[in-house]
Amino acid sequence: MTELFLILQSEFQRLADLPTDVGSAAAAGAKKGYRSLAQRARALKVDSGTLSRLLNGNARLSPKLADRFAARLRSDPAERRTLAERLLEAGKKRPLEDQQPSQYGDISAVKNFFERLSQEHCLLVVEYRDLPRAEPDAKYGNYARLAGQAIAKGLAFGMVLPFSDDSLTEPPSGLYHTRTIRSYLWDLKRKAIAAFNSIRDEARIALKELQKDSDVDKKALERRLVLYERSPGNSKSSVPADLFFSGIQSRVFYVEIRTEDILEKEVWEWVAARERDFFIQRDESSTPQNVIADQFFPIVKFWHDNEHARLPTSIGDLKNTIETYGTGLGANLPSEFWSVADAWNQALSPAPTATGQS
């Protein structure tokens, strides 16, 4: 329970106790029973998802929203200013250093992480440079349910395989890495597809439960859950640039949350240690959010252009976004640098036999 929640609780109770002809425009509504989150959101002229994140301390309250809330709750200008200041102070996110050291980084934070993103206007892009921890046979395979439930409630989840098939096999005219690395990357791709399938199945189950008797909207899920692959962009290239320009052994989570007039960005990393896993929010000074955002700009920009509601689902979507924004961002990438994996129908095939020198 946050201080912001307690202040608003007190304000709505105060309005409910007022005579019907006294107070602000929200007073009459409070007397009619503004007790639920949805009712209070309507009274404050904000959407329920935004209010929920604010009350749970998962989003920052902007000065604009603080003024709006105060105006809806207080009619006297002086009281309105005072309340706005109180709300703004209470709405500040608690810094990470204020958390208990034993709690910070604990893998159980993944549950709260996905609960926080179980809303519309939330984006999550995960890049797999290490074996997925939520694929069916992995240690945290049951966590696929958390992701699936969040997607069913509105989260847009893009899963990224940064290594192309040219990095996994032996292209006829190309260069390739050692057999050990190629075998590892093929296993990574196979397990990422397994994780995708598991999350997809959980999302279908969760959406069916939410829609009750309605038919499951498969298209809605396909717009919110997409597996992407990068490719060198030129099949005649002798170097699989995506492999040689980047490394392995990390799982990066990039988050954007649209809250009214605020766009929040976060970068997280899932680390598999010897005895336990850690889920850590990266500091801006070491991992600038804008750098990570640009790493996924075809996904992020498309999401922005489509009312923060859907992901690019075709090579055409990705190509158009790269052509639209690439030059302005200073990128000189081929338009086919990104592709959409047909993971909804893709079978899990065994790794090809490697014959090259290691």
| pLDDT tens digit at each of 358 positions of the chain | 578 877 888 888 777 766 655 445 454 544 455 667 778 888 888 887 788 778 777 677 888 889 999 999 998 999 999 999 999 888 775 533 344 444 568 888 898 899 889 988 999 999 998 899 988 888 889 899 999 999 999 999 999 988 766 556 555 545 667 788 878 888 888 899 999 999 999 999 998 888 775 665 668 889 999 999 886 554 444 444 444 445 666 789 999 998 767 788 999 999 988 888 999 988 888 878 999 999 999 999 999 999 999 999 999 999 999 999 999 999 887 777 788 887 655 544 444 444 443 3
> Which residues have C-beta within 8 Å of that of residue 76, sequence separation ≥ 6?
none
Range(s) of the chain covered by CATH 3.30.870: 109-340
Counting Cα atoms < 13 Å in the Cβ hemisphere of 64 gives 6
pTM of this prediction? 0.72
pLDDT at residue 357, rounded to an integer:
39
Question: CA–CA separation, 345 vs 342, rounded Å?
Answer: 6
| DSSP-based helix, strand, coil % in the chain, nearest 5 | 45, 15, 40
pLDDT at residue 166, rounded to an integer:
57
pLDDT at residue 114, rounded to an integer:
94
pLDDT at residue 99, rounded to an integer:
43
Range(s) of the chain covered by CATH 1.10.260: 3-90
pLDDT at residue 248, rounded to an integer:
64
pLDDT at residue 52, rounded to an integer:
77
Question: CA–CA separation, 226 vs 93, rounded Å?
Answer: 31
42 alpha carbon, distance to own chain's centre: 26
Token pair for residue 15? 């309005």
pLDDT at residue 30, rounded to an integer:
47
CA angle (200, 201, 202) in 5-degree steps: 90
50 alpha carbon, distance to own chain's centre: 15
Q: End-to-end CA distance of the chain, in Å?
A: 57
70-79 burial by CB neighbour count: b if 16+ within 10 A, else e?
Answer: bbbbbeeeee
Question: CA–CA separation, 187 vs 181, rounded Å?
Answer: 10
Q: Top-level CATH class of 3-90?
A: mainly alpha
Beta sheet of 338-340, edge-to-edge order:
277-281, 262-272, 251-259, 122-128, 156-161, 225-230, 338-340
Give the single-character DSSP code of 352: P
Question: CA–CA separation, 127 vs 132, rounded Å?
Answer: 10
Token pair for residue 23? 């107070």
Question: CA–CA separation, 324 vs 329, rounded Å?
Answer: 10
CATH architecture of the region 109-340: 2-Layer Sandwich (3.30)
Question: CA–CA separation, 227 vs 158, rounded Å?
Answer: 6
Q: Where are the alpha helices (DSSP H) in the chain?
A: 3-17, 25-31, 37-44, 48-55, 63-73, 77-90, 109-116, 144-152, 165-168, 179-211, 218-224, 241-244, 289-295, 297-305, 315-325
